[in-house]
Amino acid sequence: MHPGAIAAVTPDKPAVIMAGSGRIITYRELDEESNRLAHLFRAAGLRPGDHIAFMLANHPLFLAVAWAAHRSGLYYTPVSSRLQTDELAYIVGNCGARVFLSSADLAEVATSITDATPGVELRLMLDGVAEGFESYEEAVAGRPVTPIADECQGMDMLYSSGTTGRPKGVKLASEHGPLDDPGLLFKLIQGLFAPSADSVYLSPAPLYHAAPLRYSLTFQRLGATVVVMERFDPERYLALVERYAVTHSQLVPTMFIKMLKLSPEIRKKYDISSLTHAIHAAAPCPVPVKEQMIDWWGPIIHEYYAGTEGNGFLYVGPEDWLRHRGTVGRSLLGIVHICDEDGDDLPPGEHGTIYFENGGRFEYHGDPGKTRSAQDPQGRGWTTLGDIGYLDADGFLYLTDRRSYMIISGGVNIYPQEAENVLSVHPKVADVAVFGVPDEEMGEQVKAVVQPVSATEAGPGLEAELIAYCRERLAHYKCPKSVDFRDELPRHPTGKLYKRLLRDEYWPAGR
């Protein structure tokens, strides 16, 4: 199934409803828009296996752009609309994009990468034009609304930041098979969450993230309606569930926390009885938060653990979770191994690195070193996301650390090395460490601890200067919310930073 097949049967059914503006994209419009753009890709010389990139907020045509690339057999890289020039230029250049598409509201940063991305042959802009860009609307006007002759499956290639400070492109295995072959994720979603053409899927997160993108496309394969929030608001979310009789939605724990902070009167104001499956992932959910959500919404909350890499998939339903509180699930894809530093299996209850055997295949685009680093040290072909956890006697997995020092704020992964690299070159910084500290609402927030060149500079003035310096060079969510100062940071004589010693000062014992 795909939008063309749905459009042939229910052309006027909403494929996308934008929650803020109310704009509707029907299945006929989704099919025709993606076909026109697919024809443009072919006219530009793109063939299966080539790459495009696009930077859009939650735009009404976001999913049409994704479908156009997907049905053209292309690798497509949606890029965060919050990135700054250097970050954006790196991703667009590294993925080998021959086409780059953005929108007028993001023109300032979109146009800033032109000189740094000479491999881009065609630049398109929605809702306006800017220097170096062609009008998207004019470029697709008059193109056929029928499918291209050689339709085949494409694949997203999403970027996940690495601890070295540079994002890494996650390239999944793709055979460019028939467009109507739904793939493994479709089968997992269908088996676990029972979606159908009558389903209404509410997506409250940015579509450039893996789960919102992949789940939205999957629900559209079935002919369901996808309601897209331009930005998350807790009360607005509840109102949308009632207004559109939403049946399925995917959230992150921070969204649960924000909704739980609503007054009892607001929480009781909206009828959410249509919601049959509330799915969450992206970050561990605090046990008390999930308990409160189940008390409020009932046993409809489902959890899974997986990565963009697709090398494994664990799932836990509400009943099993209540019997194994805190688990992220049991494996449905890939055999889970918990290993010590030598790659040897550890028994249940012991903490170690999580590896998957016989999971999905992936590579980090253009970086065989990073690809090898995700494989087990004994060369058995097992792969890891770098997370730490343990299995109980029943095979349920529990996470105890996420990639050591990775920060998870509001369900978004933040890698502290990026901010450290920026701050370390500031002329007033002698040494710096960046890590996550507790945040009641977001789970974690970014903290920097700095050894200034001159101790007399330490204080609120330098703190504000360093935060501003970082925000000029990185997406703001990656930058410290606060800065503390020390006379010296704990380092080994070899130069290794004992970040754990710093981080533990800010966290409760045992966390």
CATH number at residue 374: 2.30.38.10
> Does 335 lie in the same domain as 447?
no
> Is the CB of residue 26 less than 8 Å from the CB of residue 175?
no
> Does 41 lie in the same domain as 114?
yes
Q: Which residue has the tokens 């380092």?
A: 491
> Does 148 lie in the same domain as 34?
yes
Cα–Cα distance, 432 to 420 (Å, whole number): 6
Q: What pLDDT score was predicted for residue 495?
A: 45
Q: What is the CATH number of the domain that holds 436?
A: 3.30.300.30
> Does 382 lie in the same domain as 328?
yes
> Does 128 lie in the same domain as 104?
yes
The last residue of one of the domains, among 344, 375, 404, is 404
> Does 335 lie in the same domain as 468?
no
Question: Would you say residue 434 has pLDDT above 70?
Answer: yes
> Does 169 lie in the same domain as 33?
yes
User: Where is 161: in which H helix or E strand?
Assistant: strand 155-161
Cα–Cα distance, 74 to 208 (Å, whole number): 16
pLDDT of 272-310, one tens digit each? 999 999 999 866 677 888 999 999 999 999 999 998 888
What whole-number percentage of the chain has pLDDT above 70?
95
Q: How many CA atoms lie within 13 A of 323 on its CB side?
A: 11
> Is the CB of residue 51 less than 8 Å from the CB of residue 202?
no
Q: Please, what sign has the CA dihedral across residues 110, 413, 254, 239? A: positive
Q: What pLDDT score was predicted for residue 163?
A: 38
The domain containing residue 484 runs over which residues? 409-504
pLDDT category at 494 given cuts 50, 70, 90 is very low
Residue count (the chain): 511
Q: And the tokens for 509?
A: 């014992």
| Weakest-pLDDT range from 40-54, 294-308, 420-434 | 420-434
Q: Provide the mean pLDDT of the chain.
A: 90
> Does 488 lie in the same domain as 370?
no
Whether 21 is in a domain gets the answer no
> Does 170 lie in the same domain as 30?
yes
pLDDT of 304-329, one tens digit each? 999 888 899 999 999 999 999 999 99
- When pLDDT is averaged across residues 152-169 and rounded to a whole number, the result is 77
Q: What is the CATH number of the domain that holds 162?
A: 3.40.50.980
Whether 284 is in a domain gets the answer no
Q: What pLDDT score was predicted for residue 166?
A: 76
> Does 463 lie in the same domain as 354?
no
- When pLDDT is averaged across residues 103-111 and rounded to a whole number, the result is 97
Question: Would you say residue 510 has pLDDT above 50?
Answer: no
Whether 197 is in a domain gets the answer no
DSSP character at residue 116? T
Question: Would you say residue 508 has pLDDT above 50?
Answer: yes
Whether 122 is in a domain gets the answer yes
> Does 77 lie in the same domain as 35?
yes
Q: What pLDDT score was predicted for residue 175?
A: 67
Alpha helices per DSSP H over 261-324: 264-269, 287-297, 318-323
Whether 509 is in a domain gets the answer no
Q: What pLDDT score was predicted for residue 493?
A: 44
Cα–Cα distance, 92 to 221 (Å, whole number): 28
Better pLDDT: 508 or 481: 481
- When pLDDT is averaged across residues 106-112 and rounded to a whole number, the result is 96
> Does 375 lie in the same domain as 392?
yes
Number of domains within the chain: 3
> Is the CB of residue 146 less than 8 Å from the CB of residue 37?
no
Q: What pLDDT score was predicted for residue 401?
A: 56
Phi, psi of 177 (to 5 degrees): -80, -170
pLDDT category at 471 given cuts 50, 70, 90 is very high
The last residue of one of the domains, among 133, 159, 174, is 174
Q: What pLDDT score was predicted for residue 403?
A: 59
Q: Which residue has the tokens 């504000």?
A: 464
Q: What pLDDT score was predicted for residue 235?
A: 97
Question: Would you say residue 165 has pLDDT above 70?
Answer: no
Whether 267 is in a domain gets the answer no
Q: What pLDDT score was predicted for residue 404?
A: 62
- When pLDDT is averaged across residues 201-228 and rounded to a whole number, the result is 95
Burial string for 181-214 (b: 16+ CB within 10 Å, else e) reads: ebeebbebbeebbebeeebbbbbbbbbbbbbbbb
Q: What pLDDT score was predicted for residue 507?
A: 84
pLDDT of 136-157, one tens digit each? 999 999 999 999 999 999 999 9
> Is the CB of residue 284 less than 8 Å from the CB of residue 253?
yes
Better pLDDT: 122 or 433: 122
The last residue of one of the domains, among 141, 174, 207, is 174
Question: Would you say residue 400 has pLDDT above 60?
Answer: yes
Whether 187 is in a domain gets the answer no
pLDDT of 192-213, one tens digit each? 999 999 999 999 999 998 899 9
Which residues share a beta bridge with 452? 429
Whether 479 is in a domain gets the answer yes
- Cα 240 to Cα 13, 18, 235, 236, 264: the distances in Å are 18, 11, 9, 6, 18
Cα–Cα distance, 439 to 506 (Å, whole number): 11
